[in-house]
């Protein structure tokens, strides 16, 4: 019997799209999840966004919804997918105004901010059937806010076993859907309120 221990797995069609050139390296038992898109955030750190001009939460509503990952635009706030999700469907509720603190919200903004958070939970339950949620706002740099200058609330769906050894030990999170797929599912399931509908691709003048 041929000894195949340590041999790389073979996949149908590999021979037709690969050559015999071998890059340096020694095979091992580890799987690699390549996430180069995170490098820009890691290098910049949490102090990289200080002004309205370079704040991603201010820029996002000015772009197409598909590009910005916006799932719903409200009167004073909007809902967007987190570019660095803890779990699939990780949403952020953001006011249009560039304000840093929860106490800076007006009464009207506070009401819609809470309403959108509740709707986000209902929609995620409908499309993804999570068994729990984490809701939270990190206030200020010392409070752990990644972008401290613009208030945002996290809505993270949770499932049993999603906090396994992978993120705890390896600091790696496996995401099972693309952001585009999740955005489409959530946007299509978002209920129409007062004549408004799910984000459809245009800029807003709600600011």
Of 90, 150, 152, 154, which one is the catalytic site residue? 152
Burial class (CB in 10 A: 0-12, 13-18, 19+), 92: buried
User: Which pLDDT does position 70 carry in this prediction?
Assistant: 94
User: Which pLDDT does position 146 carry in this prediction?
Assistant: 75
User: Which pLDDT does position 196 carry in this prediction?
Assistant: 46
Contact between residue 57 and residue 94 where contact means Cβ atoms under 8 Å apart: yes
User: Which pLDDT does position 77 carry in this prediction?
Assistant: 97
- Is the pTM above the cut of 0.85? no
User: Which pLDDT does position 85 carry in this prediction?
Assistant: 81
Confirm whether 37 is a catalytic residue.
no
User: Which pLDDT does position 43 carry in this prediction?
Assistant: 53
User: Which pLDDT does position 181 carry in this prediction?
Assistant: 85
Domains of the chain: 66-191 (3.30.428.10)
Average pLDDT, the chain: 76
User: Which pLDDT does position 116 carry in this prediction?
Assistant: 97
User: Which pLDDT does position 147 carry in this prediction?
Assistant: 82
pLDDT 10s digit of each residue in the chain, 207 long? 455 555 555 666 666 666 666 556 556 665 555 655 555 554 555 444 555 567 889 999 999 998 899 999 999 999 999 888 888 889 999 999 999 999 999 999 999 999 999 999 999 999 989 999 999 998 888 887 778 889 999 999 998 877 644 444 444 445 556 788 888 989 999 996 544 444 544 444 444
């Amino acid at each position: 019997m041929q000894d195949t221990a340590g041999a790389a797995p073979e996949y149908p069609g590999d021979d037709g799209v690969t050559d015999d050139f071998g890059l340096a390296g020694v095979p091992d038992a580890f799987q690699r999840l390549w996430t180069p898109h995170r490098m820009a955030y890691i290098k910049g750190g949490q102090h990289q966004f200080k002004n309205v001009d370079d704040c991603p939460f201010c820029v996002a509503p000015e772009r197409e919804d598909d590009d910005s990952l916006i799932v719903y635009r409200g009167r004073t706030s909007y809902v967007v997918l987190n570019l660095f999700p803890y779990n699939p469907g990780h949403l952020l509720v953001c006011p249009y105004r560039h304000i840093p603190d929860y106490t800076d919200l007006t009464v009207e903004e506070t009401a819609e901010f809470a309403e959108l958070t509740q709707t986000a939970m209902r929609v995620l339950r409908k499309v993804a059937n999570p068994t729990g949620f984490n809701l939270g706002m990190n206030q200020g740099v010392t409070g752990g806010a990644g972008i401290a200058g613009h208030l945002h609330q996290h809505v993270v769906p949770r499932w049993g076993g999603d906090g396994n050894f992978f993120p705890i030990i390896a600091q790696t999170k496996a995401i099972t859907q693309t952001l585009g797929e999740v955005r489409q599912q959530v946007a299509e399931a978002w209920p129409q309120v007062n004549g408004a509908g799910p984000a459809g691709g245009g800029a807003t003048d709600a600011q």
